[in-house]
């Protein structure tokens, strides 16, 4: 409850103060209005120390004491501008993020570019509690990976990202809040010990389940980008030939139909999805063709990574009507 209230408060603060609303357009360039500065705890301690030193100087009429306090104060003040400048005109673009299974860490990559001909040290990206520290060379772009823990299936938005720096003296923190339009697909976690794959139906008669003709080599065909690297004829390629894909006769035969409705009634939605994910993975491993029938439609029999990805995506987004098509 308190947590929810905090989140909603933070969203409001973000909207009002940090001008964060809809996801930001890309590439996002940090301009002066988006950069904020406040002292760090170390900075507050420093300020308190300067205060004490100033009082001492006044009390004992130490002229050089005044000078020292003012010099250090001036340096601390200049460090505000340095911190601000360390973020100024950085540009951020979302990079790719590969789908993961729930419980794994989603890896968001953000491309941060420095258009300035000087270094930018001591930068940090922070999202969902994951912190990535990095620095940028002059005129350089770095691909920063943020790995965030995942819990639920579906689209996971990167959401609120904070880029911050305490350079140069650690007394001042400059930061900017941004919401890059970036998301990662989270598949349901596969059931750890699933029952064996359902038997192939129809014309797969006479074949043992889960063992459907893996190695009946049938021939070669030109490689397509969607083909599994495991089936590439590497030897041919190594001899200098074209990139070909090996075809296996057995694959055609053992078709499996993974059907939501055939699962035991006792299973809940997520348990069903987990089992189906486990089976999809098993079928993919076994290089078997399969179809997937969910209450909201059927994916026709096929195989290959592309097919698997489609099925896993359907399972991930099952029931999340709004986000299913995005």
Binding site for other proteins (CB under 8 A): 27, 40, 42, 45-46, 49, 52-53, 55-79, 81-82, 84-85, 88-89, 93, 95, 111, 115-119, 121-122, 133, 135, 139, 166-171
* Residue among 268, 36, 77 at smallest CA distance from 174: 36
CA distances in angstroms from 29 to 32, 80, 83, 146, 284, listed in the order given: 10, 20, 16, 19, 42
Q: CB nearer to other proteins: give 76 or 233.
A: 76
Q: CB nearer to other proteins: give 180 or 188.
A: 180
Residues forming a β-bridge with 108: 146
Q: CB nearer to other proteins: give 174 or 258.
A: 174
Q: Give min distance, CB of 289 to other proteins, in A.
A: 33
Residues 6+ apart with CB under 8 A from 59: none
Q: Give min distance, CB of 115 to other proteins, in A.
A: 7
Q: Give min distance, CB of 175 to other proteins, in A.
A: 13
Range 62-65 contact pairs with CB under 8 angstroms and sequence separation of 24 or more: none
Residues forming a β-bridge with 289: 255
Q: CB nearer to other proteins: give 94 or 286.
A: 94
Q: Give min distance, CB of 304 to other proteins, in A.
A: 24
Q: CB nearer to other proteins: give 80 or 294.
A: 80
* Residue among 132, 112, 126, 141 at smallest CA distance from 177: 126
Q: Give min distance, CB of 71 to other proteins, in A.
A: 4
Report the length, in residues, of the chain: 326
């Amino acid at each position: 409850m308190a947590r929810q209230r905090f989140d909603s408060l933070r969203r409001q603060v973000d909207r009002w103060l940090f001008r964060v609303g809809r996801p930001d357009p890309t590439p996002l360039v940090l301009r002066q209005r988006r950069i904020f500065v406040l002292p760090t705890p170390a900075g507050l301690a420093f300020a308190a120390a300067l205060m004490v030193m100033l009082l001492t100087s006044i009390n004992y009429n130490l002229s050089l004491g005044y000078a020292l306090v003012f010099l250090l104060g001036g340096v601390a003040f200049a460090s505000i501008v340095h911190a601000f400048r360390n973020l100024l005109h950085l540009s951020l673009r979302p990079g790719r993020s590969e789908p993961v299974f729930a419980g794994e860490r989603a890896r968001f990559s953000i491309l941060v570019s420095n258009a300035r001909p000087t270094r930018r040290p001591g930068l940090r990206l922070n999202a969902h509690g994951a912190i990535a520290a990095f620095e940028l060379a002059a005129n350089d772009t770095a691909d920063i990976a943020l790995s965030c823990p995942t819990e639920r299936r579906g689209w996971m938005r990167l959401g609120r990202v904070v880029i911050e720096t305490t350079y140069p003296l650690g007394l001042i923190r400059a930061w900017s809040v941004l919401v890059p339009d970036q998301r990662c697909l989270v598949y349901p976690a596969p059931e750890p010990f699933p029952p064996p794959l359902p038997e192939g139906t129809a014309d797969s008669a006479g074949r043992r389940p889960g063992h459907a003709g893996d190695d009946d080599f049938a021939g070669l065909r030109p490689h397509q980008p969607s083909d599994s690297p495991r089936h590439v004829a590497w030897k041919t390629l190594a001899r200098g030939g074209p990139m070909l894909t090996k075809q296996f006769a057995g694959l055609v035969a053992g078709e499996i139909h993974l059907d939501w409705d055939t699962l035991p009634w006792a299973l809940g939605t997520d348990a069903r999805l987990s089992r189906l994910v486990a089976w999809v993975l098993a079928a993919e491993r076994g290089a078997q063709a399969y179809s997937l029938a969910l209450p909201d439609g059927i994916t026709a029999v096929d195989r290959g990574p592309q097919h698997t990805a489609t099925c896993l995506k359907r399972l991930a987004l099952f029931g999340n009507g709004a986000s299913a098509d995005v």
